[in-house]
Structure 1
């Protein structure tokens, strides 16, 4: 309410005279950001909202840079919220500021820079009109691409303006300002700075240091009031281009960004960013287990020998994967005419397109193939998380012996399950199976339900069934049973039997993946 009243009050101020009478005091954008940041810090208010995992690392670095009135370079791999951080800086600006009415470069009424504003004020004096711009209008952004020109960024002579105003090309009024001068008294961001040609980067030197702007022979002294924020990927320095040294020297603070360091932070980011409709939220339940498996895929990808670490694995992978997993369950429920369902482990086959489209492979990965690499990452995620929920099969072989004693055998909680498969039984779970039939099929495996109830006694029927399915996938990831992903189903068998059974031509045609 107070903000609405303030907006109404300032809009009653329409001339320079009224502005002076209001007590307005000009200040640079860097002073403005610094003073507003100080107020937020003193009030212990959140400075950057929705930025998870940077509370103790990146955000303090940014705050220190703004307090120092520095231009900033965010250096990090893709999907590390670099541009998002820059865009959120507008929240630290004053909500409204006055500018000379009609000015191309947001001239301060009490400290004009452009010839247009100076002439207008010289003609009308304190009756010169002003207007107010919102902080959302004080943000400019440009993606650096090889085709960006000096004219795009700084400006050029406009022959149409010269013809309409009947001016010679020697007149300063024929200049058409580029995006940087038009961002005066605002925040200007150049994304992927190394992609900018070296000669274009050179044009930024004096703007950052002195405020001089050179346009087609015009020597202009425009001390532009801009906070510059640049973003770059470390790999870009050697892959596509580089930041020229004199320009880098003029960027006072270089801030390193990073991927989520913990699974909890990754979960919070995906939960915050995933775009699910109300229908999906109501009809599809997603367990904490499934969410963790999806996040674990990204962690496995970042450590994989098949994935290019220099390119990075964006948080967008898990966001897209989460949305695909929910949609896979929703589609199955719609086909089966079920009102509600949950995301099963087998539904995670539906996240493969989200993985293959978000990772860059090294040569060895290309040899394996994107689909194979994606399936292996999913399998590794299952293996890693399985040990967090159930006894680790690797530690069940033999207990470490005491000195001079024979190794003690350890009771195997999976013996009944593997024994069932050893008897020649197999389980074929169709991807489109309805929930009731899937639960019934899982209960047919000896020892499976007993293991889950012993470990998770509080789980209800559907939760227990999901954990039962997870156990089968987990045992397969530890090579205790065999798992094959076919076109329409996932098939579990005993490990030795599947190794010695000769596949038929139909099997070879249908089989897409064997994790083991």
Structure 2
């Protein structure tokens, strides 16, 4: 069907076009995708076996949907992806405020126009990208915003009585007829406003300032809500919950692999940054592990959650830290260092809600502890586990390295030292090189020095070495020498 040749109601009828509801559109197109094996909701990772099947079942059931989950769990992204399940174009009566279906008009304007012009009634075509409406539920939202109100200016201009329904100014919901309408953070919507949605969801009629306008709106509602809001700011009134067909729980990524995929997709780095900074695979795992540690931390409010945005902004800050160092050194390319992770602290402190104990520790201290915990968690995946209790004379894989620090009194690693100095400092530690060859023999050359620094940070976390922050870098020492120097 060539829509450019269909401009009137008569031409639309001749084309054989048949009306269908938006829920049937979504259902039919989803059926075709599933039958053809085409992935739905592409670009949303980690939900393939959990959230997406539930969402598909809800769409097949023609349900209005409530996506319930903590912040940063792709709730709005899922809703926006539903646009891809709509028909590419649909016809509507030209000039209609509420996208009237030419074959099934519901507004007075469209009905009067069709009665007057018949098959010559002009029609226009609406692309699916224009069929998505979104409203953030804030306390100042009114019934007039969502449903509509009497417009005194329209009444004056048209010289109409307030008893005439043509003086109605439609709100966002009627104007989103035949569209997907998303209300974000539904519990923040005042209870009296939620009540105004009852009839729209169930019976389809709306009431504006005493006008009972029987308008069977054709809409797909998607609501999003955060469980924390139920206790902190508001709740979804029970009769409204009863009218929402499916409530679907979202969740955070369940593995580092999925988390990495999300971060790399969403970070949106420019080519110059990617070309300047080489990021070892271990660094990416470490970055994602920080979010996992935060979600388990005793200092962070679990009910508030730790958004996936934390990893995204932390990754951006991490690369910017290395990029800044390269620019200061006047080099075109550098490799990320573990000490660059101090640059992500502002990304962490702004993304977590601390409990009382966390407030006492301080946001920056909590952020540093999360980085340290991530190192500790990942370390055994690359090197032999360090036991808490070891016999005094037993030789471990790390004994020679610890003895080197005891003999050499450690070293200082400056934040802005050149790549050459950085490599020379770490390269001078012979036991570190031996340890790397024994347990990470196949390691890529570019990852070598990051892994060496990772070993040192790991030994610090397992109380084999000490690490002190100076004004412009880190000082690594053997743990006993550090203790003695503080006496």
TM superposition score normalised by structure 1: 0.93
Q: Secondary structure at the match of 1:14?
A: coil
Aligned to 1:150: 143
Q: How far apart are 1:272 and its partner, in Å?
A: 1.1
Aligned to 2:464: 480
For 1:173 and 1:68, locate their aligned partners in 2 and report how far apart those are by CA, in whole Å.
Answer: 36
Cα pair 2:83 2:128 within 8 Å, conserved? yes
Cα pair 1:141 1:191 within 8 Å, conserved? yes
For 1:486 and 1:203, locate their aligned partners in 2 and report how far apart those are by CA, in whole Å.
Answer: 60
Q: Secondary structure at the match of 1:230?
A: strand
For 2:446 and 2:255, locate their aligned partners in 1 and report how far apart those are by CA, in whole Å.
Answer: 28
For 1:192 and 1:157, locate their aligned partners in 2 and report how far apart those are by CA, in whole Å.
Answer: 27
For 2:158 and 2:57, locate their aligned partners in 1 and report how far apart those are by CA, in whole Å.
Answer: 47
Aligned to 1:255: 248
Q: 1:277-310 CA distances to partner (integer Å, 9 max, x unpaired)?
A: 1011112110110000000000000000000000
Runs of 5+ consecutive residues of structure 1 not aligned to the other structure? 1-5, 399-407, 504-516
Q: How far apart are 1:409 and its partner, in Å?
A: 7.2
Q: How far apart are 1:440 and its partner, in Å?
A: 0.4
Q: How far apart are 1:444 and its partner, in Å?
A: 2.3
Structure 1 position 109 matched with structure 2 position 109: no
Aligned to 1:433: 417
For 2:141 and 2:225, locate their aligned partners in 1 and report how far apart those are by CA, in whole Å.
Answer: 16
Structure 1 position 416 matched with structure 2 position 390: no
Q: How far apart are 1:450 and its partner, in Å?
A: 1.1
Aligned residue among 312, 337, 344 for 1:319: 312
Q: 1:395-428 CA distances to partner (integer Å, 9 max, x unpaired)?
A: 7826xxxxxxxxx975411111111221251210
Aligned residue among 134, 147, 172 for 1:141: 134
Aligned to 1:506: none
Higher deviation after alignment, 441-450 or 188-197: 441-450
Structure 1 position 218 matched with structure 2 position 181: no
Aligned to 1:193: 186
Q: How far apart are 1:466 and its partner, in Å?
A: 1.4
Aligned to 1:509: none
Structure 2 matches for 1:22-61, cutoff 5 A? Answer: 22-61=15-54
Q: 1:71-124 CA distances to partner (integer Å, 9 max, x unpaired)?
A: 000000000000000000010000000000000000000110000001101111
Q: How far apart are 1:460 and its partner, in Å?
A: 4.8
Q: 1:299-341 CA distances to partner (integer Å, 9 max, x unpaired)?
A: 0000000000000001100111111111111110110011111
Structure 1 position 265 matched with structure 2 position 258: yes
Aligned to 1:388: 381
Cα pair 1:424 1:497 within 8 Å, conserved? no
Aligned residue among 324, 327, 332 for 1:339: 332
For 1:70 and 1:168, locate their aligned partners in 2 and report how far apart those are by CA, in whole Å.
Answer: 39
For 1:409 and 1:226, locate their aligned partners in 2 and report how far apart those are by CA, in whole Å.
Answer: 74
Aligned residue among 431, 441, 447 for 1:463: 447
Q: 1:437-462 CA distances to partner (integer Å, 9 max, x unpaired)?
A: 00101122241111112222233544
For 1:224 and 1:490, locate their aligned partners in 2 and report how far apart those are by CA, in whole Å.
Answer: 64
Cα pair 2:66 2:225 within 8 Å, conserved? yes
Residues 460, 243 of structure 1: CA spacing in aligned structure 2 closer, same or farther, 3 A cutoff?
A: closer
Q: How far apart are 1:463 and its partner, in Å?
A: 2.1
TM superposition score normalised by structure 2: 0.98
Aligned to 2:478: 494
Q: How far apart are 1:142 and its partner, in Å?
A: 0.2
Q: 1:433-490 CA distances to partner (integer Å, 9 max, x unpaired)?
A: 1111001011222411111122222335442221111111110011111001222101
Aligned to 1:447: 431
Q: Secondary structure at the match of 2:42?
A: coil
Quick one: higher RCO (CA 8 Å, sep 6+), 1 or 2?
A: 2
For 1:468 and 1:386, locate their aligned partners in 2 and report how far apart those are by CA, in whole Å.
Answer: 12
Aligned residue among 322, 333, 349 for 2:342: 349
For 1:424 and 1:450, locate their aligned partners in 2 and report how far apart those are by CA, in whole Å.
Answer: 17
For 1:105 and 1:486, locate their aligned partners in 2 and report how far apart those are by CA, in whole Å.
Answer: 64
For 2:35 and 2:394, locate their aligned partners in 1 and report how far apart those are by CA, in whole Å.
Answer: 58
Structure 1 position 276 matched with structure 2 position 269: yes
Structure 1 position 62 matched with structure 2 position 46: no
Aligned to 2:68: 75
Cα pair 2:89 2:125 within 8 Å, conserved? yes
Q: 1:176-228 CA distances to partner (integer Å, 9 max, x unpaired)?
A: 10010011001000000000000000000000000110101111001100010
For 1:216 and 1:125, locate their aligned partners in 2 and report how far apart those are by CA, in whole Å.
Answer: 32
Q: Secondary structure at the match of 2:457?
A: helix
For 1:59 and 1:149, locate their aligned partners in 2 and report how far apart those are by CA, in whole Å.
Answer: 33
For 1:283 and 1:366, locate their aligned partners in 2 and report how far apart those are by CA, in whole Å.
Answer: 37
Cα pair 1:453 1:464 within 8 Å, conserved? no
Aligned to 1:366: 359
